Amino acid sequence: MTNPHSSSFSELEFRFFPHENFRPHQREGIESIFNSVKVGNILLLDSPTGTGKSAMVLCGVLEAMSNNEKLVVITRTHSQYKIFIQEFMRVKRKHDNLKFGLLVGRSNVCPMHVGYETCGFLRKNSLSQIKDGTDWYSEGEIIKYRKTVSDKPKSAICPYFINCFQRNQTTPLFDGEAGTLINNQLNKPQTPEKFNKLCMDRKYPKCPYELMKSTLSSCDVMLLHYHYLIDPGVRDAVISSRWLGCGFENIHLVVDEAHNLAPYIQDICSLEFSKEDVLNAIKLVEKGELHGVEYSLNPLKGNIGDIVVLLDDLNLFLEHWFSNKSKSELLGGLIEDVIPEKQMFKASDRSLEYLNLATNLVKTQFNKRKKSREIPDEIPVPGIVNISKTLKQISRQTEDRFIKTIRIKPLSKSVGKTLDGKINIADYGISLRMIDIDPRDAVKYLSDSFKSLTLISGTLTPTELYRKLLFYDGIEVKEMSIPSPFPPENRLMLCCKDVTSLRRYRDNEENISNVKKCMEGLFAADGNIAVFFTSYGLKDRYLSYVQDLSHKTGKGVMDENRGIDKHKFIEEYKKHGNAALLAVCRGNFSEGVDFIGGAMNAVAVIGLPLAPWNMKQKKVNRYYERIFGPDVGEEIAYYLPAVTAAVQALGRCIRSPHEKGILVLGDSRYCSEAATGAKRLLPRWMQDEMQVVYSKEIESLIKQKIDGWGSLSEQNEIIPSIKTDYKDDFKRADTLINQNTETAHTIISCLEHLQINVGRILLADILSGSKSKKISGLNLAGSLHYGSSKKYSRGQIVNMIDQLIEKDYLGVKRSNSIYHRPTLSVTDKGKEAIRNGEEIQLELPVENKEEKITLSEPEEILYGELKLFRKRAALEKNLPFYCIFDNKTLQRIAKARPRDYEELLKLKGIGKAKLKAYGDEIIEIMDRGKRAKTYSVDEIEDRIVSEAAKTKTYSVDEIRGTYPSAYEKWTKEEEEKLINEFDSTLSPSEIADLHGRKRGAIRVRLRRLDLID
């Protein structure tokens, strides 16, 4: 790629900024990222919804990075992929040579629906088949073939994988059809779903995962799921296979949704094995067999029994734990308890030692076989190695940052839903885990390995606490918090001071009644609403009450259950348009789901979603309190994750600056400044705008606010799904910069983006979305700004262009065309204004073409009379008609039928001078209109013609002596010619001469063409 990168902050030119306007504070965000990336620093950036994070990241990093470097963004949710791809495509319009790579987890796209291990075998076998020479597989053959894969996975091949290669060649992939798919994805990336479809919709369907992976080495910007760089096992595979095309030291890493980084690290980096692993390990040890390869456990001969006893003990221990759980606990979902060590299992040191020895043997032989390619690279080390490693850590790690737990989790969503409701151990996954609760080592690895590290999220407040949570003291981390860019007047932020989810008040009658009032209040909002609870249990307690409310109000109820199909549910909710969603914080809908376009008009979070106060949480609290002191420690360990979860849930409502919405925090702790309160952890704008109220006040406050706005559903246009059409998405106004600055920026940017020279009219036509032949002939309807100023007429836009020329934002160049048509250019001042998001004062048209006056038949007749009067007056004074009155003013008069001067003067277009000159005659016409014989519209037309004939001083022939084309019909071609001339420097008289018509006739035609008022 060419190097348009800025070399120092003073040279930052926002060349990679994909929009014409900056959102509020977006520029500062870009500068912070640029400054940090340029010197390889660490940045913690709190950037709320609406600040344009993706554009910020792309612009800031791309401006700072050098040619041999890459930008890698890691994210957790799929909705981020779409947004990021859209922004990338906008940047690519300016820098076409940029390339994009994307990789999601194999399980999301593998058409064979096989696991990691089986895929490894299929690929290995396929490669040998390719070497031996094989044909591609058509869809029909694949269907026949796939039946055999499940029978003999270890000796089967993957037809989708084979189809990725040229016949008889194992490298490279960048040829043929696969190469085309890869190159298209690099240049015009598609979401994983669309790319998957593209790979499948072919005669010889191909593996989307393999092709996506192949884009990574050649791209400049890539988007990966967290696990590729955070899960140590996967990361090692990424490094060793050099998928990324360069070392980490040349990569600028951006972690999106960074508020999730700590829990993700805790989850992914914990050591864990399941009961299933133990059973497999028992088989493995007893048989001495692994993946069809004999493992000699000879050095342990005679001691295998000890290992089996240990594993049996472990198995019994896990089962015993399960059997002690009550049915309601098990049906509640995931249970995680800390294990008191003495209760764990009766393992002798000797058996642990043998297990260790056995796994070392397995590991060594396994790796040897991998090296000699007997086992594919993709096959993970056997479970027994993991068991041994975890047990070793469990017995050795005594530091309080390591917590040993046992987890019981239903394997399927329908567990416990059977009619008999029986609990079966086989339906549950039981596992032993050792969690390292401190994420700082894992984050340090990222900051040490990558060239720069940027952590960004919409909920990283207070950044100071996140810094403490994620980084060791002494590591230099820059922090930045961007304020919410959404207008405060578009939201109502309430906090209910007489509601709580504190356990001791859950059964309190008054609290229950207040929660109900709080929800009843929320039901006052029209359209879709949502109530998030702290747990499924709490939600279920209020379900029947919400159903009653629903009967009374006619609002539908949609209840989030564990077994729901998330995507279908969301689509139904969006389509419903008047439903109450009952959901839970940290559930399916509280994060990573975009309810844009008024798909959610009001939201309440009932309670503070603190983690269960169990042994595990107590240990976590104790650990952080030891490190940071009691207050800060408790905040980091306990309150920060809860407030972040609540803020995330609230953030589902109001997703753009134009949306309005109601936000309710239903717990007194959110408005408490006390040590046990959570107010100080909320984003600044929430703290500032929050109205602390009683639950009984909520309904009236919401109604009052909505009355002021009008209906919420009408205000917030519902957009059923996230758009992938970049142009439409662009057109959605996404800036708060005042309207005249925005319009000025749009005009300048439109001109800047055009590849051809244009004059005022053509530029106005593009902006107004004209469907003229010229626009279609030059293929301008597809240009970026086409139709972006639709609400203005061509003449109004021309007027604004003239203002920009006058203010030196646009320049005029003469061309050599026959009409001396000048073309426009953007001046340095104009470029500077766009880059810096400068305010531009532009006089916006007062009247736009939306104003339509519809006249009834009698009014039409009056209008005709008024036109006749105007004609007479114009001929008398030898003035063009519009100098007397324009059509709109006459229509207004006909519509209003003023009875006296006072009423006439109230009308737009009538000033004192016009009143003095024509007032009497108009009032006379109005009076006549009341008494008069009514003429039909046709009769009026006839009268106009005859009146004209009467008042005409010269015959047409005589007039044509001077003006050869006078009274001739205008042709399309002549009109086009006139448009070009109007856009030139020719005077009206010169234009009239060129057409052989009167100056007045030219003016009239220009008005008809909407070029002058």
Nearer to ligand SF4, 150 or 547 (CB): 150
Closest CB 106 distance from ligand SF4, rounded Å: 5
Residue that is written with structure tokens 């994750």 in the block: 641
Could you tell me the smallest distance in angstroms from the CB atom of residue 182 to ligand SF4?
14
Query: Minimum Å distance from CB 202 to ligand SF4?
Result: 14
Strand 70-75 vs strand 221-225: parallel, antiparallel, or unpaired?
Answer: parallel
> Where are the alpha helices (H) located in 807-936, listed in sequence order?
828-835, 857-877, 881-884, 887-896, 901-905, 912-931
Looking up tokens 């030059």, which residue turns up?
778
In angstroms, give the least distance from the CB of 587 to ligand SF4. 30
Spatial separation of the C-alpha atoms in residues 118 and 378, rounded to whole Å: 9
When the beta carbons of 115 and 961 are compared against ligand SF4, the nearer one is 115
DSSP letter assigned to residue 173 = S
CB 351 within 8 A of CB 305: no
Question: From the CB of 140, what's the least distance to ligand SF4, in Å?
Answer: 17
Full DSSP string of 632-669: HHHIIIIIHHHHHHHHHHHTTS--STT--EEEEEE-GG
For residue 605, the cross-strand partners are 532, 665
Q: How far is the CB of 213 from ligand SF4 (least distance, A)?
A: 9
Give dist(CA 840, CA 747) in Å, integer: 11
Which residue, 100, 304, 302, 369, is CA-closest to 216?
100
Query: Minimum distance between the CB of residue 160 and ligand SF4, rounded to whole angstroms?
Result: 4
Based on CB atoms, which residue is closest to ligand SF4, 158 or 748?
Answer: 158
- Judge whether 730 and 753 are in contact, CB under 8 Å: no
d(CA 991, CA 983): 11
**Which chain residues interact with ligand SF4 by CB under 6 A?**
106, 110-112, 114, 119, 122-123, 158, 160-161, 207, 209-210
Distance, in Å, from the CA atom of 681 to the CA atom of 686, rounded to the nearest integer, reads: 10
CB of 216 to ligand SF4, least distance (A): 15
Q: How many CA atoms lie within 13 A of 15 on its CB side?
A: 17
Shortest distance in whole angstroms from residue 158 CB to ligand SF4:
3
Nearer to ligand SF4, 91 or 109 (CB): 109
Measured from the CB atom, the residue of 158 and 840 that comes closer to ligand SF4 is 158
3-state DSSP helix/strand/coil % of the chain, to nearest 5: 50, 10, 35
Contacts of 962 (CB under 8 A, 6+ apart): none
Interhelix angle 887-896/857-877, rounded to 10 degrees, is 130
| Cβ within 8 Å of residue 55, ≥6 positions away | 17, 18, 19, 26, 87, 90, 91
The CB-of-124 to ligand SF4 minimum distance in angstroms stands at 10
How many residues does this entry show for the chain? 1013
Q: How far is the CB of 162 from ligand SF4 (least distance, A)?
A: 9
Residue that the structure tokens 């609990």 belong to: 423
Other residues' Cβ atoms within 10 Å of the Cβ of residue 948: 13
CA distance 716 to 892: 33
C-beta of 112: minimal distance to ligand SF4 in Å?
4
- Retrieve residue 468's tokens: 């403490």
- Cis peptide before 462, with omega less than 30 degrees from 0? yes
User: Residue 108 or 704: which CB sits closer to ligand SF4?
Assistant: 108
Smallest distance from ligand SF4 to CB 152, Å: 14
Which pair of structure tokens corresponds to residue 303? 């001691």
Q: CB nearer to ligand SF4: give 210 or 659.
A: 210
Which residue, 207 or 434, has its beta carbon nearer to ligand SF4?
Answer: 207
Least Å distance, CB 222 to ligand SF4, is 19
> Do residues 678 and 639 touch, judged by C-beta distance below 8 A?
yes
Taking a C-beta distance cutoff of 8 angstroms, is the pair 514, 545 a contact?
Answer: no
* 204 touches 210 (CB < 8 A): no
Query: Which has the closest alpha carbon to 88: 75, 101, 105, 103?
Result: 101
